[in-house]
Amino acid sequence: EKVLWNDQLTTRDEVKIGIEDRGYQFGDGIYEVIKVYGGDVFTATEHIDRFYSSAEKIAMALPYTKDVLHHLIHQLIEENELENGIVYLQATRGDSPRNHPYPNPAVEAVLTGYTRETKRPLAELEAGVPVILIEDIRWLRCDIKSLNLLGNVMAKQQAVEKGCFEAVQHRGDVITEGSSSNAFGIKDGTLYTHPTTNLILNGITRQVILDCCKEIGLPVVEEAFTVEQAKQMDEFFISSTGIEVMPVIKLDDHVVGNGTPGEWTRKLQHAFEAKLP
């Protein structure tokens, strides 16, 4: 099994990461998770574009073109004969004596990537999942897909400890997003989701879902909504590369709709599936 290390495909035990790598010390880096269905990457261009956009937002130069990165990802999938799973990709600002400011002159970014077989969460997609609601304590640049995930990790842990699938976060009253997903509510035949500001990650799955809404004639309002409004929604779901369109049947103790995945959510699941390779 091969992994990606800078612009080389190599074996996992050949990779050497410095103990002063800025990703390791500061979380100073970015990442992407890309899904592979039947050997084909899904929305690879969108993920690679976001990877470069995250790098740009933290003033980090990536030493390869997007085309080279596309090529490396394809090679990795082929070499590992990955049928269904994910490609994980990350880049850090590099290895440099510990000091907060960006190294000057800059050092080379460190790129790593690997594949992992995963299964679609079919049982959960069918039955829906319970989530907790939790205060969003993260920083104010959630639009960057940063390696700094401590806030997200702490939120998800609380969900797990309560037997829930995800933590849907709110900043004050306003629902932002899940710890590793975007959040959506449907009320009276309209879909509501947080606008793409600095407070959420602009999910690639979210973007695909908004296209699906057009196809199935579900109007979209990209406006923030509150916790109280969330509990009034007829349907609720979360999305990400790994969980696709995941119906939510409980928000804390509150039962969403009649406690089973709603009709629009089912339609979105079908429209989404139709786009898969």
Residues carrying an active site annotation:
145
Judged by CB under 6 A, how many residues of this single chain contact ligand PDD? Answer: 15
- The stretch near ligand PDD (CB under 6 A) out of 64-72, 202-210, 250-258, 262-270 is 202-210
Binding-site member from 54, 92, 241, 269 for ligand PDD (CB under 6 A): 241
Contact characters 141-180, ligand PDD, x per CB under 6 A = -----------x------------------------x--x
Residue with smaller CB distance to ligand PDD, 30 or 204: 204
Binding-site member from 23, 203, 257, 262 for ligand PDD (CB under 6 A): 203
CB of 251 to ligand PDD, least distance (A): 17
Residue with smaller CB distance to ligand PDD, 144 or 249: 144
Which helix (H) or strand (E) segment holds residue 76: the answer is helix 66-79
Per-residue HEC secondary structure of 180-235 comes to: CCEEEEEECCEEEECCCCCCCCCCHHHHHHHHHHHHHCCCEECCCCEHHHHHHCCE
Q: Does 240 bind ligand PDD (CB under 6 A)?
A: yes
Binding-site member from 54, 182, 193, 269 for ligand PDD (CB under 6 A): 182
* Cα–Cα distance measured from residue 174 to residue 136, given in angstroms and rounded to the nearest whole number: 9
Query: How many Cβ atoms sit within 10 Å of the Cβ of residue 171?
Result: 18
Residue with smaller CB distance to ligand PDD, 3 or 201: 201
Q: Which of 126, 121, 150 is nearest to 137 (CA)?
A: 150
Following DSSP, what letter does each residue of 87-101 receive, concatenated? EEEEEES-B-SS-SS
Q: Does 204 bind ligand PDD (CB under 6 A)?
A: yes
- The stretch near ligand PDD (CB under 6 A) out of 94-102, 104-112, 220-228, 237-245 is 237-245
Residue with smaller CB distance to ligand PDD, 144 or 257: 144
The one-letter amino acid code at 254 reads H
Residue 56 tokens read as 């740009």
Residue with smaller CB distance to ligand PDD, 21 or 177: 177
Long-range contacts of the stretch 193-196 (C-beta < 8 A, 24+): 193/220, 193/221, 193/222, 194/222, 194/223, 194/224, 194/225, 195/222, 195/223, 195/224, 196/143, 196/222
Distance from the first to the final alpha carbon of the chain: 24
CB of 97 to ligand PDD, least distance (A): 30
CB 156 within 8 A of CB 180: yes
Q: Does 206 bind ligand PDD (CB under 6 A)?
A: yes
Using a 10 angstrom Cβ sphere, with 0-12 exposed, 13-18 middle and 19 or more buried, the burial of residue 13 is exposed
Q: Which of residues 31-90 bind ligand PDD (CB under 6 A)?
A: 33
Q: Does 29 bind ligand PDD (CB under 6 A)?
A: no
Residues binding ligand PDD (CB under 6 A) = 33, 152, 177, 180-182, 201, 203-206, 239-242
